[in-house]
Structure 1
Amino acid sequence: MASSSVTTLAWGFLLGYLVLMIGLGYKGYRQTDSQDDYATARGGFGFLMLSLAYAATVASGSTFMGMPGMAYGMGFKVGYYAILYPVGAYIGMMIVARITKKVGDRFGSQSVPDFLGDRYQSPVLRVLAALVALFLLFYVMSQITAAGWLFDTILGVNYDVGIWLAGGLLLVYLTAGGTYADILTDGVQGAIMIAITALVAFMFVTGWGIEGGPVAVNAALPSQMQWDVHTSDQNATFASGWAIFLLLVAHIGFTALPHLGNKFFAIKSTQYMKKFMLASAVIGISLPLMFLGGIVGRAMGIQVQNPDAILPVLFMQTLPPVVAAFLSVAILSAIVSTADGLIIAISQIFANDLYRKTYVPMKDEQPDQSRIDQRALWISRISTVVVTVAAILAVRTPPEYLAVLLWVGIGGIIASYGGPYLVGTLREETSKTAAITAFVAGFLTFFVLHLGPRFGLYEGWFPYNQNPFAASGIGFMISCALTYVVSKFTEPLPEEHLNKVFSTRRSEESTGSDAHGTSGD
């Protein structure tokens, strides 16, 4: 529990943060006139603000609390996770970002499931992708849990109350401002997250609280946690070099997650796409250095009730109260920066993918587009509230490790989306049949390897039954392989449709130059 001075200061910083979020939420509300505005903020941001927002959303509360918590319990081997996950995630982003933006703008796609439905002319794939994306609720649960522990550790509020306060904070600006509010707030939070990461890296390099620098920090750890121990047959996540390799593979598909994919719609033009990808990758690759905070805390012998709380406790015990209070509230902002995007993405499953793009076309009557748009907007706002409350209720008993909880949800999404999204972007000839087959096979693979044992249906196979990263990586590879192989034996989409989807790319290939005539694309 924080000292009274830290608690008082933290409440002051939280109030200031709340006022800032309300202000940005109101600005987002002023820019939200339609369902498309709420869902995508289409063309509303330049590359720098969107880069900060994207990197902040990728990093999440798992990076700022879950990853230091894992390092506190497992040691330096968690560095493999910290290094490989952003490398994989940004490789995936570079594959799909441009085509998602172009096709999304051309077809009016409002989510990644919507994009897949438009890319393959398949309402079936859109619905399947939307239903699987509901597993993002586990991701939201992990963020709410992280926020609850922060309220408990820093602000002196019981965890049970803290999770409700965290949910209320999100709803203050999300229900009104939608994606505009999401990106505006995430951009500010991303800048704060960079500063926290720099401080943690400095603490490690200087051996904060331990004379002798990094070497002394390493020596203070138990032998099985030191930097020359790379694997452990008792640890499912780092059981072998193969399991570590699957960490990278799984994260290549990370960019398929709907709360990340919909960010691409918000950039002003593909003219800024290269700058956006470079800036977000540089920022995003640096943020996982947060795991070093868990190493420093363990080396100092700091005791915590829950490993995920190690970073704020480290700040409280080693920094002046005003700094510790500010940084702790800043970590809360990191958590919120992912939770808000997740909640918006899930709301679009109901408002866009299931209502506007599935239910409405099934009706025989001529639709009134204006009326449909307003209904979808209200569904979005109501769903935002329902999803937030559901996540809070689900984590009244907190999980052990946040990073593992969120992957229970997103592993199936990555495994199923992988082939249709990434291979379908690289290979124009990918067929609708291949996409659906690969989607189902990828999800079933993840279910058999991990979700089945997780739900207690059977024991499963080690390490996949305990390692969602490895199970997701296997499912991702199967999805990608099937997408390619089945396309070889099934009929491709009509050439007219492919011309519409890939028109800009084909034009660039035929002329040998950028269709925009600028090096900025």
Structure 2
Amino acid sequence: MAVSDTVVTYSWAFLAMYLVMIAGLGYWGWQKTTSQDDYATARGGFGFLALGFAYAATVASGSTFMGMPGMAYDMGFKAGYYALIYPIGAYLGMMLVARITKKVGDEAGSQSIPDFLGDRFRSPTLRLLASFIALFLLFYVMAQIVAAGHMFDTILGLEYEVGIWFAGGLLLLYLTFGGSNADIITDAVQGAIMVGIAILVFAMVLTGWGLEGGIGAVNANLEPAQQWDTHTNPDNPTFASWWAILLLFIAHIGFTAQPHLGNKFFAIKGTQYIKKFMLTAGIAGMVLPLMYLAGVLGAAQGIEVESADAIVPVLFAETMPAVVAAFLSVAILSAIVSTADGLIIAVSQIFANDFYRKTYVPWKGGDPSSKAVGQRALLISRIGTVVVTVVAVAAVMTPPEYLSIFMWIGIGGIISAYSGPYLIGSLRESTSKTAALVGFVAGFAVYFAIHLGPQMGLYEGLYPYNANPFAATGIGFLVSCLSTVIANQFTDPMPVDTRNEIFRGSTELSDGGVVDDD
């Protein structure tokens, strides 16, 4: 369904204002970016409030604002198990690792999560393996580009194939020069706006917007299989059983291990702000997934769309004044961009920092901390930003069916590999380098065997894991963590002197964990 010409006109006007805003913020970020570390992390550059909203917006992504409503449009209230469970797992994981990542990463000068793992375990091998696996973030980038393309198609009248290139250009407008400073400040503004929109959608569903009878009328107008008393569906791999739903929660505990999220911890001004940051991010992050209810409301109203993922802008266009619908739709477009920018920065750092500065330079006998190396790494970062964006856009000329599931092809591999070394290594100082490597390899191998292999057509696999990346990731997460713990019992623990050097400023606990001494 095409929106009215009036909505399109207003949407272009709001988009023009948005472009001016991000160009200005990009210039601000460029002025604050004088080194590779500035570009990669914006280290210590932000307070808890801005960073909390930026983190929540980055976690949410185009999946929350379009993919989950799209799933809810097709599946009904049961999609809420995904929308409402994932932030609980994701922010639980954040609370486990944020403080240690900030403290240890700042001490070591880590510029990415693969870099942090290499510094934490004094293992160039682990850094290199983690960097290769981090390239799976490209699937995540592609999913955001697809979401943006659908928005351009729906609210601005651009063909999808044109819209995705427009979205790529929009990202490069401020990322290429502003780096992480521009990424975080734009994400903070977009995150605050999106919290307001999610609350609005929640109120619309409670009042039965466009229907008579409140939320009860919304439920009554759905197909029986979509109503709130239908919880599982054996034919739907995502919600095939309660076990699959539990694994969805478990998978998200490791969600914060993704490089574009973990590197946000480096940007906070100091560890004394960590608690306030986590509280801000957690509250905002719990509100944003309420966007899934827009899909439920659209289905209840009988709105027809060519693509389920486009239900949010179409719902706004059909049920609200043109100027309001246009503003809300452009705000959602900006929120989608808020995840894509952080992802692109994270992928560019794989090449600039992890492959070049921390691997190639030492291998050639150079000094990775030299000014010349830093300037070359900064150049590689900016070139990498352009290349990653162009590749991501070119790869999604034909869009996938469900964004939420497509992007998890990459997310699942990263979480399955990283979770043992990152979570167990953050909680237990004594975790050995060998145990971390065992957990890394075991988690990814299991995820590949039960999900990626079947997805690549190598063999059929076992249902629902062959078709359910969340359940497969949940198992990969458990295997990675358990194998790290078990391997640590049969390997020599990290020497005390090394642990003290890595965890400088921390106090050891009797069980091998750490607490902050602030």
TM-score of the aligned structures, taking structure 2 as reference length: 0.98
Q: How far apart, CA to CA, are the structure 1 residues paired with 2:348 and 2:497?
A: 32
Note if contact 1:508-1:514 (Cα within 8 Å) is conserved in structure 2: no
The within-5 A match list for 1:437-476 is 437-476=438-477
Deviation at 1:366, TM superposition (A): 5.5
What is the CA RMSD across the aligned residues, in angstroms? 1.4
Instruction: Write the mapping of 1:154-165 to structure 2, written as runs, cut at 5 A.
Output: 154-165=155-166
Q: CA deviation at 1:363?
A: 1.0
The answer to whether the Cα contact below 8 Å between 1:231 and 1:239 also exists between their aligned partners in 2 is: yes
- Does the CA contact (< 8 Å) of 2:91 and 2:253 recur in 1? yes
For residue 181 of structure 1, report the CA deviation from its aligned partner. Answer: 0.3
Tell me what 1:36 maps to.
37
Aligned-pair CA distance for 1:235: 0.3
Task: For residues 71-129 of structure 1, give each alpha carbon's deviation from its aligned partner in whole angstroms, at most 9, with x where no partner exists.
Answer: 00111111111111000000000000000000111000000000000000000000000
Offset at 1:368?
A: 7.4
Gaps of 5+ in 1: 517-521
- Paired residue for 1:386? 387
The residue that corresponds to 2:292 in the other structure is 291
The letter of the residue matching 2:476 is: G
Indicate the percent of aligned positions where both proteins have the same amino acid.
66
Match of 1:519 in 2: none
Q: Distance in 1 between matches of 2:21 and 2:121?
A: 42
Residue correspondence of structure 1 range 7-18 to structure 2 within 5 A: 7-18=8-19
Structure 2 residue 226 is matched with structure 1 residue 225: yes
Question: After the TM superposition, which residues 109-148 of structure 1 pair with which residues of structure 2 at under 5 Å, given as runs?
Answer: 109-148=110-149
Aligned residues: 515
What SS does the corresponding residue of 2:506 show, helix, strand or coil? helix
**Contact 1:56–1:334 (CA<8 Å) still a contact in 2?**
yes
> Residue by residue, what CA displacement relative to the aligned partner does 1:412-457 show, whole Å, maximum 9, x if unpaired?
0000101000011111111111111110111111111111111111
* C-alpha distance in structure 1 between counterparts of 2:83 and 2:516, whole Å: 35
The one-letter code of the counterpart of 1:8 is T
The aligned amino acid for 1:304 is V
SS across alignment from 2:111: coil
Give the drift of 1:514: 6.1
**SS of 1:76 mapped into structure 2:** helix
2:446 and 2:282 mapped to 1: Cα distance? 30
Q: Distance in 2 between matches of 1:125 and 1:267?
A: 26
* Cα distance in 2 between the residues matched to 1:423 and 1:384: 32
User: Is contact 2:358–2:368 with CA below 8 Å preserved after alignment?
Assistant: no
Alignment of 1:38-53 (within 5 A): 38-53=39-54
Separation of aligned partners in 2, 1:389 and 1:58: 23
Q: Deviations over 1:174-195 (max 9, x none)?
A: 0000000000100000011011
Asked if structure 2 preserves the Cα contact closer than 8 Å seen for 1:507 and 1:515, the reply is no
Letter in 1 for 2:260: H
Are 1:325 and 2:332 counterparts?
A: no
Q: Partners in 1 of 2:515 and 2:171 — Cα distance?
A: 44
Q: Which amino acid aligns with 1:394?
A: A
Contact 1:236 1:466 in 2 (8 A): yes
**Mapped partners of 1:424, 1:269: distance in 2:** 21
Q: Which runs of 4+ in 1 moved over 4 A?
A: 365-368, 507-510
In structure 2, the residue matched to 1:214 is 215
- Do the aligned residues in 2 keep the contact of 1:28 with 1:178 (CA within 8 Å)? yes
- In structure 1, what is the Cα distance between the partners aligned to 2:302 and 2:326? 21
- 1:309-458 aligned at under 5 Å gives the runs 309-365=310-366, 369-458=370-459
> Deviation per CA, 1:292-336, whole angstroms, max 9, x where unpaired?
000000000000000000000000000000000000000001100
TM-score (norm 1): 0.97
Partner of 2:20: 19
1:495 CA drift (Å): 1.4
1:500 Cα deviation after fit: 1.7
Distance 1:175 1:77 in 2: 40
**Deviation per CA, 1:487-513, whole angstroms, max 9, x where unpaired?**
000012221110022232217999x99
Unaligned runs of 5+ in 2: none
